[in-house]
């Protein structure tokens, strides 16, 4: 299905869910909801048949010797786009994750409302996913949880630069760094999982930061209105997987 450009209201408040067209055949409600993804396309079979699927409820984490998280943010060419499924920051160059003695390069950062992963059964109003890829085409995702609290300057900047059309990107200035979306404490949980969207590919290395980042109630409401949909896939069983933490 070809995505149509949709002119978004300037204020983006109270935008109805129906105003957001699907960017492809899958979505989050009705016949295209997560429980039906595997029926929409043979390429999505893992969404039902996969064993190690994401998101999960993070609990009973095992203490392990996890190395400090090694992240670098140097990219200067970022852009914000609404692709019909999420608000996404596209990154052109530079940002790196050093993991398992390999370099992973940041591909994009996107958001889910409410959070997809849970921590000890707790849902968060917003979760950011930083998606990385290495030279072997393997994926790693760094997840950041957001909680209601003080206003967040990075979120405020994104809200001031919201795209007005689906799939039409808004360039972000060089002064904006994705590092501003991360907490100071980089301790994390680690587990193996999958993409949380079709084709639900497994073998993804998941790193969820333990310390959440604050944003205000007004920012939560504005971000929700800008997103226009609830875009969280339900949690999946661990099936024997271990969650490791520092």
The model carries a pTM of: 0.90
Considering only the C-alpha atoms of the chain, give the largest distance between any 2 of them, rounded to a whole number of Å.
Answer: 49
Predicted local confidence at residue 174, as pLDDT: 78
Instruction: State the pLDDT at residue 5.
Output: 36
Q: What is the pLDDT of residue 14?
A: 31
Q: Tokens 């967040």 belong to which residue?
A: 152
**Strands 118-119 vs 57-58: parallel, antiparallel or unpaired:** parallel
- The residue assigned the tokens 């639900």 is 200
pLDDT exceeds cutoff 60 at 19? no
Per-residue model confidence (pLDDT) at position 4: 36
Q: Whose CA is closest to 86, among 37, 24, 41?
A: 24
190-222 per-position pLDDT tens digit:
999 999 999 999 999 999 999 999 999 999 999
Phi, psi of 46 (to 5 degrees): -65, -25
- Tens digit of each residue's pLDDT (9 = 90 or more) over 106-130: 999 999 999 999 999 999 999 999 9
* Distance from C-alpha of 143 to C-alpha of 182, rounded to nearest angstrom: 9
Decide: 177 and 109 in contact? Cβ < 8 Å. Answer: no
Domain 17-245 has CATH 3.10.200.10: yes
Is the pLDDT confidence value at 18 over 50? no
CB 189 within 8 A of CB 49: no
Q: Which positions are catalytic?
A: 85
- pLDDT tens string 34-93: 999 999 999 999 999 999 999 999 999 999 989 999 999 987 789 999 999 999 999 987
What is the per-residue pLDDT for 12? 32
Name the residue with higher pLDDT: 17 or 236. 236
Question: At 24, is the pLDDT very low, low, confident or very high (cuts 50, 70, 90)?
Answer: low
Q: What is the mean pLDDT of the chain?
A: 90
Within 13 Å of residue 230, how many CA atoms lie on the same side as its CB?
11
């Amino acid at each position: 299905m070809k995505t149509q450009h949709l002119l978004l209201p300037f204020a983006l408040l109270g935008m109805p869910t129906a105003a957001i067209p699907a960017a492809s055949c899958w979505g989050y409600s009705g016949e295209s909801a997560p429980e039906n993804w595997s029926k929409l396309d043979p390429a999505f079979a893992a969404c039902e048949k996969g064993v190690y699927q994401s998101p999960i409820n993070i609990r009973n984490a095992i203490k392990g010797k996890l190395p400090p998280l090694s992240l670098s943010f140097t990219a200067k060419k970022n852009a914000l786009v609404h692709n019909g499924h999420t608000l996404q920051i596209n990154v052109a160059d530079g940002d790196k994750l050093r993991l398992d003695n390999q370099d992973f390069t940041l591909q994009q950062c996107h958001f889910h409302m409410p959070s997809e992963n849970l921590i000890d059964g707790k849902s968060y109003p917003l979760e950011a996913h930083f998606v990385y890829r290495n030279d072997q085409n393997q994926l790693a995702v760094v997840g950041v949880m957001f909680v209601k609290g003080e206003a967040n300057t990075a979120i405020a900047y994104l809200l001031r630069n919201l795209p007005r059309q689906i799939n039409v990107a808004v360039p972000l200035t060089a002064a904006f760094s994705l590092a501003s979306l991360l907490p100071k404490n980089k301790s994390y949980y680690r587990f193996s999982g999958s993409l949380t969207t079709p084709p639900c590919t497994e073998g993804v290395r998941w790193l969820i930061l333990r310390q959440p980042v604050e944003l205000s109630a007004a920012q939560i409401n504005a971000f929700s209105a800008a997103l226009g949909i609830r875009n969280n896939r339900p949690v999946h069983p661990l099936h024997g997987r271990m969650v490791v933490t520092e």
